[in-house]
Amino acid sequence: MKLNVNNAQHDVDADPRTPLLYVLRGDLKLNAAKFGCGLGQCGACTVLVNGEPVFSCVTPIALLAGKEITTLEGLGTEEHPAPIQQAFIEAQAAQCGYCIPGMMMRAQALLQRNLHAGDADIRAWLEPNLCRCGSHMRILRAVHRAQHILTTAQKGDAG
């Protein structure tokens, strides 16, 4: 079936019951979304579908025809990082880093819908995502940093 991933159409020859995570990692060789639990409990697999976060480990590709799937790779690269990526690097917001792509995608969805979310709202928003290393303080700092980068850019555009 055809899947739209990071603005490109892909012809995927997989059983429609296959969770998106395995198609992203196995067929499309994308690394960011990770296997953490396969149960929708930890968020390491989070990607965006039509701009909203989903657990790709429990989302079969059968549900995704015609929808826009965005992974971390679709936001930016090492050479041209997106604001959220730049922010996480500046904040050094990772220890092992395994949970971080999921965190970033979840945060990205928030920033896309409400750039001025307050700290309490960011914490509530990130609740479904687990971090075992205890990088939470840095993750929050990174999201605030991304807000700053984006709002400064906005002002720059407007000014």
Partner 1 sequence: MSDTGIVISRRAVLAGSGALIFSFSSVAQSPAQENAAPLAAAAPPLPGSLKQSPFLDSWIRIDADGAITVFTGKAELGQGIKTALLQVAAEQMDADFAQLKIVTADTARTANEGYTAGSHSMQDSGTAITHAAAQVRTLLVAQAAQRSGLPADQLKTDNGAVVAPDGRRFGYGDLVAVEILHVQASPQSMLKDPVQYKFLNRRIPRVDIPAKVTGGEAFVQDFRPDGMVHGRIVRPPSYGAVLDSVDTTAVKKMPGVLKVVRDGSFLAVIAEREFQAIEAMRALAAVARWHESAKLPDMAALPAFLAGLPARDIKVIDQQQPAAVNAKMISATYSRPYVSHGSIGPSCAVAQLQDDALTVWTHTQGVFPDRDAIAEMMRMPKDKVRCIHSQGSGCYGHNGADDAAGDAALLARALPGKPVRVQWTREQEHAWEPYGPAMLVKVSAALDDSGKIADWDYAVWSNTHSMRPGPAGALIAARYLAEPFPEPEPKPIPMPEGGGDRNSNPIYKFPSMKVIHHFLPTMPVRVSALRSLGAYMNIFSIESFMDELAAAAGADPVEFRLKHLDDPRAREVVSTAAGRFGWSAKPRAGSPGHGYGFAFARYKNLAAYCAIACEVEVNHETGRARMVRAVAAVDSGQVVNPDGIANQIEGAILQSMSWTLYENVSFDDRRITSVDWATYPILRFSAVPDSMEVHIINRPGTPFLGSGEAGQGPAAAAVANAIANATGYRFRDLPLSSERIKAAIGV
Partner 2 sequence: MRGFVRSLVFLCVLLILGAAVYAILAVQPALDPIAPPQASSFDPALVKRGAELAAVGSCGVCHTAPSGRQFAGGLALPTPFGTIYSTNITPDAATGIGNWSQAAFQRALRRGVRRDGAYLYPAFPYDHFTLVSGDDVKAIYAFLMTREPVRATAPTNQLPFPLNIRLVMYGWNLLYLKPGPYRPDPAQDEAWNRGAYLAEGLGHCGACHTPRNILGAEKTSEKFSGGEAEGWSAYAINASSPAPVPWTADTLLQYLSRGFNADHGVARGPMLDVASNLGAAPSDDLHAIAAYVAAQIGDAAAPTPQVAKQAKAQSARGSAVAAASADSQADTSYNRGTNADNDEGALIYAATCSGCHQGPRAAPFGGIDFALSSNINGPSARNLANVVLNGLPATENKHSPIMPGFANAMDDNQVAALARYLRAHFTDKPPWTDIEKSISDARMNVRAPAANAAPANGAASTGTQQGTTNEAQR
Please report, as ranges, the residues that interact with partner 2 according to CB under 8 A: 15-17, 38-41, 49-50, 52-55, 58-60, 62-64, 67, 110, 113-114, 117-118, 120-121, 123-125, 127-128
- Which of 54, 155, 78 is closest to 44 using CA atoms? 54
Choose, by CB under 8 A, the member of 46, 56, 70, 85 that binds partner 1.
85
Strands (E) located in 6-145: 8-11, 46-49, 52-55, 68-70
Nearer to partner 1, 36 or 49 (CB): 36
132 binds partner 1 (CB under 8 A): yes
As a whole number of angstroms, the distance between CA 115 and CA 72 comes to: 18
- Which of 88/109 has CB closer to partner 1? 88
Of 44, 158, 152, 26, the C-alpha closest to 98 is: 44
Query: Minimum distance between the CB of residue 159 and partner 1, rounded to whole angstroms?
Result: 29
Q: Does 47 bind partner 1 (CB under 8 A)?
A: no
Closest CA to 40 of 53, 25, 27: 53
CA dihedral 120, 122, 126, 132 (to 10 degrees): -80
Interacting residues of 126 by C-beta distance below 8 A, sequence separation 6+: 103, 106, 107, 139, 140, 143
Indicate which of partner 2, partner 1, none lies near residue 88 (CB less than 5 to 8 Å, by partner kind). Answer: partner 1
Residues lying near partner 1 in the complex (CB under 8 A) are found at: 14-15, 17-19, 22, 25-26, 29-32, 34-39, 41-42, 44, 71-73, 76-78, 81, 85, 88-89, 92, 94-101, 104, 123-124, 126-127, 129-138, 140
